[in-house]
């Protein structure tokens, strides 16, 4: 299996999360600085994981491991500005033994609808211990993610 979902992978449900654009997010161009979408995406992933019962601080204390990002791809379509309300969508598209791949989108949430601003794909792995050596996802994590994704787990 490739880290990115093939056509036969039934992707998980979309998890929506909302955030406002504050001064800190913008730059002198008057728009959200490009790296900050990765912050929005990470916050949304954290909240998505929490809906699955996974709290990363607790996970780390019990398992000694943590998620790390292995790859991120982002396309910037339209700029966001101060005070915009953004809807960040997170959707699992592939689950392997050692990695999870997510599709994430940032929309501007206007009274009359959504405008897609930015979309990305993020592949996340698991590392163990102080050495941060790559490792298989803990069973509990796989179970939680697999359930959420409502898709067959694939070996990788």
Applying CB under 8 A, does 39 fall inside the site for its own copies?
Answer: yes
27 is catalytic: yes
Which of 8, 25, 27, 110 is catalytic? The answer is: 27
Q: Which is nearer to its own copies, 89 or 151 (CB)?
A: 89
Applying CB under 8 A, does 13 fall inside the site for its own copies?
Answer: no
Q: Binding string, 64-103, against its own copies, x = CB under 8 A?
A: --x-xxxxxxxxx--x-xxx--------------------
DSSP 55-124: -HHHHHHHHSEEEEEEEEEEEE-S---TT-EEEEEEEEEEE-SSEEEEEEEEEEEETTEEEEEEEEEEEE
- CA 115 to CA 132: how far, in whole Å? 38
CB 96 within 8 A of CB 140: no
Is residue 110 packed enough to be buried (19+ CB in 10 Å), middle (13-18) or exposed (0-12)?
A: exposed
- CA 12 to CA 18: how far, in whole Å? 19
Applying CB under 8 A, does 42 fall inside the site for its own copies?
Answer: yes
Provide the 3-class DSSP secondary structure of residue 15.
strand
- The DSSP letter of residue 41 is H
Applying CB under 8 A, does 7 fall inside the site for its own copies?
Answer: no
Applying CB under 8 A, does 147 fall inside the site for its own copies?
Answer: no
Applying CB under 8 A, does 150 fall inside the site for its own copies?
Answer: no
Q: Which is nearer to its own copies, 33 or 153 (CB)?
A: 33
Q: Which is nearer to its own copies, 78 or 152 (CB)?
A: 78
Applying CB under 8 A, does 22 fall inside the site for its own copies?
Answer: yes
Applying CB under 8 A, does 135 fall inside the site for its own copies?
Answer: no
What is the set of active-site residues? 27
């Amino acid at each position: 299996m490739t880290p990115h979902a093939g056509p036969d992978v039934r992707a998980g449900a979309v998890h929506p999360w909302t955030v406002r654009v504050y001064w800190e997010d913008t730059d002198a161009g008057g728009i959200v600085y490009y790296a900050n979408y990765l912050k929005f995406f990470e916050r949304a992933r954290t909240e998505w994981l929490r809906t699955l019962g996974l709290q990363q601080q607790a996970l780390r204390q019990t398992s000694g491991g943590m998620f790390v990002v292995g790859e991120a791809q982002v396309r910037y379509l339209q700029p966001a500005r101060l005070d915009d309300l953004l809807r960040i969508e997170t959707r699992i598209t592939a689950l392997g033994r050692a990695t999870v791949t997510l599709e994430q989108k940032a929309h501007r949430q206007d009274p009359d609808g959504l405008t897609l601003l930015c979309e990305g794909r993020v592949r996340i792995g698991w590392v163990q211990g102080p050495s941060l050596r790559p490792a298989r996802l803990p069973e509990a994590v796989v179970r939680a993610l697999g359930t959420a994704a409502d898709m067959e787990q694939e070996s990788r």
